[in-house]
């Protein structure tokens, strides 16, 4: 197959190219970073093949990237001695979108969002950036495998590309860009040198421009901390993450139980929160500076997938295959060491600068919650990282569970929380009243998953986590006023008869202060869970079955006292009122089933009221 063959780009690539060429970059120089980074990836892959003992074509070639410019010809080229590509590979890799990154990018476009140019590297559509500045791109490549012929790929980026066989190539890939008239600046050596210095100083292989070496090849993570500047770290972060500045950074080395060098970054923003699809870890696994697995999946627990960085362990066997790597017990050990280290680091940062930490928690808190549900081993360390608003603190200020404990009353044994859509709603909840009266601190849960998380946490430092809706607390002092014991007996009996199956038991409560009554949870579910169950059930056939709760009434409350006397005078209005206060209690618990029946009843009540004021 030495003849030239012509192929059409897939529709999605054409779409991508169109955006890249016509509307994407203001920052055209980025193509240099993308092509050098592809060269570096190819070299990393080769180094890995070599280390794991595969036989390699041209084994003596130095691993490097060479960038060359030609002012006369208006070209810039990138040559590497990496893994190379054969014919099929070049067609697949450069002619179809197989990478999840590019798919994400395209689906974002499909949603009509304007793509963020600086993200293109992230999305893995890097190669096509060449067409921003070139009207013709030639890629010649020779695979690392023995006996493979070389291949030449060319395209003007419009709709098609050509592939032919090429003799006499050495291992690796060379990409030649024929620059557009308006972009000949990229054939100027000083211009290219400065771009290379800016974007490619962390490439872990020597990068030459001509025969001049541009970068210093030394893995940052094995260098001693006091030699590294803040700017070095930032550049390294950008090298890995593509853009932005890190929020937190942890650089550590350990020699027991394992030899580990690591730099981990927490980025500024949570990509999943921004509406992008599930993120993949950006932490790369190295052994003695050889990349073993980029974006390693098993290296850290899934809930730490928001991190970017490097873990290098000298204890990993180099010749291990990536597949068996996945099950390695060693990897599990590294995972445990690094995770513990990171969680402790976050905890330390939280005490150093609580405000900065609170901000982190607002952005990344969902991963911490996810961790508590998933990871039994680190549950306690993760629970330390939780932050909540609380009845003891001003709005906007958060507390840790540890700090809550320091404020607990001497006889208090449980940590109380209450969930709701926001702070104001929770503060008005009848379940909150008794706690407020007794001066017991309640944590305010406003994330819908918080209660679910508590089901997994169950306790912290031997203090049970208890929903204020379920807590068994009572107000000791008798209020003096209100119904007598006998009156309560009669009233409770009457109310149960009136409400029938809509409630379980009706009884006098000791915990209500400002509300006439509340729903009690005999089945142990909080209102949040009940709402959840309701939603699940109503979506099932035959769903929506009535859950019956007990009703606790407040014998000291004015409404109850007056209702008791009304029932002997005007039983029909009293019955309406009884139904309405049950409805009110349901509303307080967020459980209104059908507001229409309530509107009807309210109208009846209003007319009863109008009639009585007339007489
Ligand atoms: P990404 O680098 O995110 O995979 P790119 O668009 O930058 O996406 O590159 C597409 C693919 O083309 C790469 O995954 C790789 O398989 C192949 N490729 C690009 N440049 C080279 C190169 N210099 N050597 C070998 N393969 C390459
Ligand atoms: Mg790339």
Distance 94 CA to ligand 1 centre (A): 7
Distance 84 CA to ligand 1 centre (A): 10
Distance 118 CA to ligand 2 centre (A): 14
Contacts 24+ apart (CB under 8 A), 86-93: 86/141, 86/143, 86/145, 86/148, 86/149, 86/151, 87/1, 87/149, 87/151, 87/163, 87/165, 89/143, 90/139, 90/141, 90/151, 90/153, 90/163, 91/7, 91/153, 91/163
Give the residue from 115, 173, 100 showing the smallest Cα distance to 143. Answer: 173
Residue 85 Cβ inside 6 Å of ligand 1? The answer reads yes
Residue whose CA lies nearest to ligand 1 atom number 3: 124
Residue whose CA lies nearest to ligand 1 atom number 17: 93
Ligand nearest to the CA of 174: 1
Mutation probe of ligand 1 site: the residue of 17, 88, 93, 129 with most atoms within 8 A of C-beta:
93
- pLDDT of the residue at 434: 83
Q: Tally the C-alpha atoms within 13 A of residue 572's C-alpha that lie toward its C-beta.
A: 5
Closest atom of ligand 1 relative to the 121 alpha carbon: 3
Residue 124 Cβ inside 6 Å of ligand 1? The answer reads yes
Question: Which CATH number fits the domain 5-213, given the four candidates 3.30.565.10, 2.40.50.660, 3.40.50.2300, 3.30.420.40?
Answer: 3.30.565.10
Distance 271 CA to ligand 2 centre (A): 20
Residue 125 Cβ inside 6 Å of ligand 1? The answer reads yes
What is the Rg, in whole angstroms, of the alpha carbon atoms belonging to the chain?
34
Q: Where are the domains of the chain?
A: 5-213, 220-352, 356-467, 485-523+542-614
- pLDDT of the residue at 121: 47
Residue 130 Cβ inside 6 Å of ligand 1? The answer reads no
User: Can you identify the CATH homologous superfamily of domain 485-523+542-614?
Assistant: Heat shock protein 90, C-terminal domain (1.20.120.790)
Residue 38 Cβ inside 6 Å of ligand 1? The answer reads yes
- pLDDT of the residue at 316: 74
Q: How would you write 235-262 as a 3-class SS string?
A: HHHHHHHCCCCEEEEEEEEECCCCCEEE
- pLDDT of the residue at 322: 55
Closest atom of ligand 1 relative to the 45 alpha carbon: 25
- pLDDT of the residue at 32: 92
- pLDDT of the residue at 107: 64
pTM summary value: 0.69
Structural class in CATH, domain 356-467: alpha beta
Residue 126 Cβ inside 6 Å of ligand 1? The answer reads yes
Distance 128 CA to ligand 1 centre (A): 10
Distance 63 CA to ligand 2 centre (A): 18
Ligand nearest to the CA of 128: 1
How far is the C-alpha of 567 from the C-alpha of 583, rounded, in Å?
18
Question: What 3-state DSSP class applies to 580?
Answer: helix
- List average pLDDT for each run of 10 residues in the chain, which is 615 residues long: 82 80 72 90 92 91 97 98 96 76 60 54 70 95 96 94 95 98 96 88 89 87 92 90 92 90 95 77 86 86 96 75 64 94 98 97 96 95 98 96 96 93 90 88 93 93 92 63 86 93 88 81 67 62 56 89 90 92 84 77 84 65
Burial degree of 536 (CB within 10 A; 0-12, 13-18, 19+): exposed
Residue 40 Cβ inside 6 Å of ligand 1? The answer reads no
Residue 80 Cβ inside 6 Å of ligand 1? The answer reads yes
Distance 43 CA to ligand 2 centre (A): 13
Distance 285 CA to ligand 1 centre (A): 20
Distance 124 CA to ligand 1 centre (A): 9
Ligand nearest to the CA of 94: 1
Residue 382 Cβ inside 6 Å of ligand 1? The answer reads no
Residue whose CA lies nearest to ligand 1 atom number 15: 93
Instruction: Decide whether 356-467 matches 485-523+542-614 in CATH topology.
Output: no
Residue whose CA lies nearest to ligand 1 atom number 9: 127
H helices within 221-353, ranges in order?
230-241, 322-325, 329-352
Mutation probe of ligand 1 site: the residue of 38, 42, 100, 137 with most atoms within 8 A of C-beta:
38
Residue 121 Cβ inside 6 Å of ligand 1? The answer reads no
Cα angle, residue 585 at apex, residues 522 and 422 outer, rounded to 5° = 95
Residue 172 Cβ inside 6 Å of ligand 1? The answer reads no
Ligand nearest to the CA of 294: 1
- pLDDT of the residue at 314: 82
β-bridge partners, 553? 508, 517
Distance 125 CA to ligand 2 centre (A): 6
- Give Cα separations from 221 to 218, 268, 276, 296, 410 (angstroms): 9, 21, 30, 17, 48
Domain made up of 220-352: CATH architecture: 2-Layer Sandwich (3.30)
Q: Phi first, then psi: what are they for 356, rounded to 5°?
A: -60, -40
């Amino acid at each position: 197959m030495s003849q030239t063959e012509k192929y059409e780009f897939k529709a999605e690539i054409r779409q991508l190219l169109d955006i890249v060429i016509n509307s994407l970059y203001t920052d055209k120089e980025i193509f240099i970073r993308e092509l050098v980074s592809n060269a570096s990836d190819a070299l990393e892959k080769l180094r890995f093949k070599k280390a794991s003992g595969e036989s390699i074509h041209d084994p003596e070639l130095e691993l490097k990237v060479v960038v060359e410019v030609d002012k006369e010809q208006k070209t810039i080229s990138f040559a590497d001695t990496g893994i190379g590509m054969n014919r099929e590979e070049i067609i697949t890799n450069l002619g179809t979108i197989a990478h999840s990154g590019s798919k994400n990018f395209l689906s974002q476009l499909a949603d009509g969002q304007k793509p963020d140019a600086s993200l293109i590297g992230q999305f893995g559509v890097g190669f096509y950036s060449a067409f921003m500045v070139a009207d013709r791109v030639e890629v010649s490549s020779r695979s690392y495998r023995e006996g493979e012929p070389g291949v030449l790929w060319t395209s003007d980026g419009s709709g098609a590309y050509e592939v032919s066989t090429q003799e006499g190539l050495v291992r690796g890939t060379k990409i030649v860009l024929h620059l557009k008239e308006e972009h000949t600046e990229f054939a100027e050596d000083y211009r290219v040198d400065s771009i290379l210095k800016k974007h490619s100083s962390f490439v872990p292989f020597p990068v030459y421009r001509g025969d001049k070496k541009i970068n210093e090849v030394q893995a940052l993570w094995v260098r001693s901390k006091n030699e590294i500047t803040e700017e070095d770290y930032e550049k390294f972060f950008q090298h890995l993450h593509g853009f932005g500045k890190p929020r937190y950074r942890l650089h550590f080395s350990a020699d027991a139980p394992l030899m580990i060098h690591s730099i981990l970054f927490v980025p500024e923003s949570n990509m999943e929160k921004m509406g992008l699809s599930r993120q993949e870890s950006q932490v790369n696994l190295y052994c003695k500076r050889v990349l073993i697995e980029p974006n390693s999946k098993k290296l850290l627990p899934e809930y730490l997938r928001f991190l970017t960085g490097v873990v290098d362990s000298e204890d990993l066997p180099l010749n291990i295959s990536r597949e068996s790597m996945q099950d390695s017990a060693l990897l599990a050990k590294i995972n445990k060491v690094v995770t513990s280290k990171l969680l402790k680091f976050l905890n330390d940062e939280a005490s150093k600068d609580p405000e900065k930490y609170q901000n982190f928690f607002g952005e990344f808190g969902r991963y911490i919650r996810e961790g508590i549900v998933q990871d039994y081993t680190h549950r306690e360390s993760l629970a330390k990282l939780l932050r909540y608003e609380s009845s003891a603190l001003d709005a906007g200020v958060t507390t840790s569970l540890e700090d809550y404990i320091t404020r607990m009353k001497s006889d208090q044994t449980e940590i109380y929380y209450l969930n709701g859509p926001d702070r104001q709603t929770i503060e008005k909840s009848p379940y909150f009243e008794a706690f407020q009266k007794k001066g017991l601190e309640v944590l305010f849960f406003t994330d819908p998953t918080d209660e679910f998380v508590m089901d997994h946490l169950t306790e912290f430092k031997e203090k049970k986590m208890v929903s204020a809706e379920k807590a068994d607390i009572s107000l000791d002092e008798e209020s003096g006023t209100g119904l007598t014991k006998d009156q309560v007996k009669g009233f409770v009996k009457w109310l149960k008869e009136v409400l029938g199956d809509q409630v379980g038991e009706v009884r006098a409560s000791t915990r209500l202060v400002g509300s006439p009554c509340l729903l009690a949870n005999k089945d142990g579910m909080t209102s949040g869970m009940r709402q959840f169950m309701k939603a699940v059930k109503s979506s099932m056939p035959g769903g929506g079955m009535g859950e019956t709760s007990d009703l606790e009434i407040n014998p000291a409350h004015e409404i109850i006292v007056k209702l008791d006397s009304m029932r002997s005078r005007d039983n029909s209005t009293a019955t309406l009122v009884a139904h309405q206060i049950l409805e009110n209690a349901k509303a307080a618990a967020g459980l209104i089933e059908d507001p229409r029946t309530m509107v009807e009843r309210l109208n009846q009540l209003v007319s009863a009221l109008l009639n009585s004021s007339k007489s």
